[in-house]
Amino acid sequence: MTDSSLPKPIRKAVFPVAGLGTRFLPATKAIPKEMLPIIDRPLIQYAVDEAREAGIEQLIFVTGRGKTAIVEHFDMAFELEATMKDRDKSLEALAPTRIQPGNLVTVRQQVPLGLGHAIWCARAIVGDEPFAIFLPDELMIGQPGCMKQMVEAYNQVGGNLISVLEVPEDEVSSYGVIAPGKRDGALTEVMGLVEKPKREEAPSNLIISGRYILQPEVMRVLEHQGKGAGGEIQLTDAMAQMIGQQPFHAVTFAGKRYDCGSKTGFVEATLAIALEREDMRDEVRAIATRLLGLG
């Protein structure tokens, strides 16, 4: 691919964070679910760190009422930082939470009409550029991160990409699944998308996970798209319309995914990450051993 034919760089990312988090009530009555911490970092911080690693410059948060804490998390906390400096405490932990003015933009999703509608709400900021989408509920842990793996693949093939994972065949009915075409290593051509198919009807065991790179034309598809499953505007339906019109590939993520939209997935992520941290893994392993009666 010559310099003149290289795809436009991925500079912008959309984070749909307007959900009510009802599965985590009452914890999320006053605190956005995206601010719930895995150890000492909120979920949204993991997603933002992944975006920055991938070279993304502008973060677009699609928010709703009661979500101001997400924006404040990435603002400078002058009183806190001044107090910590006076007490000779390190500010290193706060460094990842600082986003330069202009690099964080918020738009409101005033009516809860689904993921596709949330993405469409960011159309004016996205403009005529390809962009990434992060679903913060899905915590993706890898080296490099999921989006960096996707951007590297995008630089080779352009078009639209989605992140996928292989799961056992008896689990496919719980997810969106791709109909695969030609495969080349971690890249798979996407011929179709099937939402929660029966096991015997699933075209593959490659499930869609919460990372996307899409061309701006998806906004025009969403604008004219009617409501789908659940009476909501579905992003999957819009992507399905683009298959065959533009290049569409899946990237099999080399890493681990934790579904932090569920309570058990949230606990699993907390335990798994704690066991990987040098500053606490021995103590956590001892605690788990004691609780399980294995000691």
Distance, CA of 282 to CA of 153 (rounded, Å): 37
Beta carbons within 8 Å of 80's beta carbon, 6+ residues apart? 94
Distance, CA of 269 to CA of 241 (rounded, Å): 34
Residue 107's DSSP bridge partners are: 62
According to the model, what pLDDT value does residue 102 have? 82
Distance, CA of 203 to CA of 193 (rounded, Å): 9
According to the model, what pLDDT value does residue 5 have? 65
Phi, then psi, of 211 in degrees rounded to 5: -135, 135
Distance, CA of 197 to CA of 193 (rounded, Å): 10
Buried b (16+ CB within 10 A) or exposed e, 181-214: eeeeebebbbeebbeebeeeebebbbbbbbbbbb
Residues recorded for the chain: 295
According to the model, what pLDDT value does residue 244 have? 86
Peptide bond between residue 7 and the one before it cis (omega within 30 degrees of 0): no
CATH superfamily of 3-261: Spore Coat Polysaccharide Biosynthesis Protein SpsA; Chain A (3.90.550.10)
Distance, CA of 275 to CA of 176 (rounded, Å): 30
pTM of the predicted structure, to 2 decimals: 0.91
pLDDT in tens, the chain (295 residues): 445 567 899 999 999 999 888 899 999 998 999 999 999 999 999 999 999 999 999 999 999 888 889 999 998 888 898 998 999 898 888 888 888 878 999 999 888 788 999 999 999 999 999 999 999 999 999 999 999 999 999 999 999 999 999 888 888 888 888 999 999 989 999 999 888 888 888 899 999 999 999 999 999 999 887 666 566 778 888 898 889 889 999 999 999 999 999 999 999 999 999 999 999 999 999 999 999 988 6
According to the model, what pLDDT value does residue 33 have? 93
According to the model, what pLDDT value does residue 113 have? 80
Q: Residue 131 in contact with residue 212, Cβ under 8 Å?
A: no
According to the model, what pLDDT value does residue 2 have? 47
Domain ranges in the chain are 3-261, 262-295
Alpha-helical regions (H) of 12-114:
43-53, 68-73, 78-86
Distance, CA of 164 to CA of 202 (rounded, Å): 15
- Measure Cα distances from 277 to 3, 18, 24, 137, 285 in Å: 41, 31, 26, 21, 11
Beta carbons within 8 Å of 181's beta carbon, 6+ residues apart? 188, 189, 190, 191
Beta carbons within 8 Å of 40's beta carbon, 6+ residues apart? 93
Q: Which amino acid is at 227?
A: K
